[in-house]
Amino acid sequence: MPSVSSREPIATETVVIAPPAPRRRPAAKWVSLVLIVVGAALILSFPLIAPNPYILSAGVVILNYAVLSTGWNFMGGFTGYISLGHAAYFGLGAYGTALLIKYLALPGFVAWIVAAILVSIIAIPIGIAALRVRGASFVIVSIAFVLIMLLVFQSWRDVTGGSEGLNVPRPFPDMLRPEHHRVFFYLFAGLLAFALLVWWIIDRSKFGTALKSVREDEDKAQALGVPTTRYKLIAYILSALFVSLGGGLYALWFGDLDPIFQFSILIGSYMVLMALLGGVRNLFGPLLGAVVVGVALEYFKLEFGDTQFHLIATGILLGIVVLFMPDGIIPAVKGLFTRSSNAASIREVTAGELLEENEKRTADASTKDASTKETSS
């Protein structure tokens, strides 16, 4: 029986270990902190430097977009479920606030909070039903939901005003329009800051890690014991809550509601586009996307009036994002400053490469043994 040499290569399973994630450099932390402070200062000073009330009102609209896209990102960013129907919660928050003021005579901001709570309760059975499906089916269900809400609020004339719209009493009736814009600009900024804070806390929690596991591979997460159904529902309710808060605050600011606008598929599409453009996995991604898309929309509407050119521009922008920046602007910019070695992850190794690596190690070991024998002799 032939003897087996101790130096004979034995087939073993080679494990390729990914390099440890690079630690964030102190300089990068300081840069991020400076950017946050500068961004906050620019936002807070905008009402003071806006040249006219129209520009200030456009700033309010952009902040509203930022609140909506950040609210959408609680669902889309953490779980990967793409919803085009979140405009339904925007409309429900707006109409809920207006109807509570009109029929129950609640103060404006009390009605705003109560409406958001009621919308969150409504989102529970809707979420239970919608989250039973995934992928394209979930997208279709979300679109169906917003279309149903549009038909209901457009047909229910006696309550909602139908196509004629619904007037919302202003919470500050004695305030001039420019000052009104200024106050609501800061209210939207405060709501946005609160939404970002909640998103940041969840992102660094075990709950956030579980939601990300759903995004990466829901079946494996469920097999590992993650209560995916419950966590998805919580994220869905949080998303509906913040979007409805944005809708209710918009109703108090604008003062005139139209079901065709409040329950528009375009509003839901804008939320998705803004979040994707900035980066759904980044805290400030939806905010950056809202600034870019919001400024572009306001510019095109101002230049081309009531034409649909802004829709064409939006479609082109979405195509550019999907083709060239699928992860968003912020990850793309970060990638430019990240070394390729640090960005590397686990690399697949072919069977030929593995065999060649084993042969090389065996040859090196044989050469080393031979050298050791010659030295000892």
Separation in Å, CA 277 to CA 10, 298, 319, 331: 51, 17, 10, 10
CB contact at 8 A, 114 and 219: no
The predicted model scores a pTM of: 0.81
Task: Kindly report the backbone phi and psi dihedral angles of residue 256, in degrees, each rounded to the nearest multiple of 5, phi listed first.
Answer: -145, 120
Give the closest residue to 250 by CA, choosing from 100, 48, 95: 95
Task: Summarize the confidence of residues 315-339 as an average pLDDT.
Answer: 77
Give the closest residue to 138 by CA, choosing from 202, 80, 206, 77: 80
Residue 346 has pLDDT above 50, yes or no: no
* pLDDT score at 163: 84
Q: How many C-beta atoms lie closer than 10 Å to residue 180's C-beta?
A: 22
Return the SS3 of 256. Answer: strand
Return the SS3 of 339. Answer: coil
Instruction: Give tens-digit pLDDT for 241-274.
Output: 999 999 999 999 999 999 999 999 989 989 998 9
* pLDDT score at 303: 79
CB contact at 8 A, 90 and 243: yes
The tokens for 375 are 């030295």
Separation in Å, CA 109 to CA 156, 171, 238, 293: 25, 8, 20, 29
DSSP-H helix ranges across the chain: 26-49, 53-79, 87-104, 108-130, 135-155, 157-160, 177-203, 206-223, 228-254, 259-262, 265-278, 285-304, 309-324, 329-336, 340-343, 351-376
Distance of alpha carbon 155 from alpha carbon 165, whole angstroms: 11
Give the closest residue to 83 by CA, choosing from 265, 294, 331: 265
CB contact at 8 A, 228 and 214: yes
Instruction: Give tens-digit pLDDT for 107-134.
Output: 999 999 999 999 999 999 999 999 999 8
* pLDDT score at 358: 65
Q: How far is CA 327 from the centre of its chain?
A: 11
CB contact at 8 A, 229 and 127: no
CB contact at 8 A, 153 and 259: yes
Q: Which residues sit opposite 256 in a β-bridge?
A: 167
Residue 18 has pLDDT above 70, yes or no: no
Distance of alpha carbon 351 from alpha carbon 203, whole angstroms: 39
Q: How many C-beta atoms lie closer than 10 Å to residue 350's C-beta?
A: 8
Question: Left (φ > 0), alpha (ψ -120 to 50) or beta: where does 8 sit?
Answer: beta
The vertex-87 CA angle with 85 and 91, nearest 5°, equals 135
Separation in Å, CA 265 to CA 180, 224, 260, 283, 320: 28, 37, 9, 25, 21
What is the identity of the amino acid at 64? N
Q: How far is CA 6 from the centre of its chain?
A: 58
* pLDDT score at 2: 46
* Identity of the highest mean pLDDT range in 136-150, 296-310, 324-338: 136-150
Residue 195 has pLDDT above 70, yes or no: yes
Q: How many C-beta atoms lie closer than 10 Å to residue 365's C-beta?
A: 12
Split at pLDDT 50, 70, 90, the class of 369 is low
Residue 354 has pLDDT above 60, yes or no: no
Residue 14 has pLDDT above 70, yes or no: no
Instruction: Give tens-digit pLDDT for 81-108.
Output: 999 999 999 999 999 999 999 999 999 9
Task: Summarize the confidence of residues 38-46 as an average pLDDT.
Answer: 93
* pLDDT score at 347: 42
Task: Summarize the confidence of residues 345-349 as an average pLDDT.
Answer: 42
Give the closest residue to 92 by CA, choosing from 69, 117, 129, 75: 117
Split at pLDDT 50, 70, 90, the class of 323 is confident
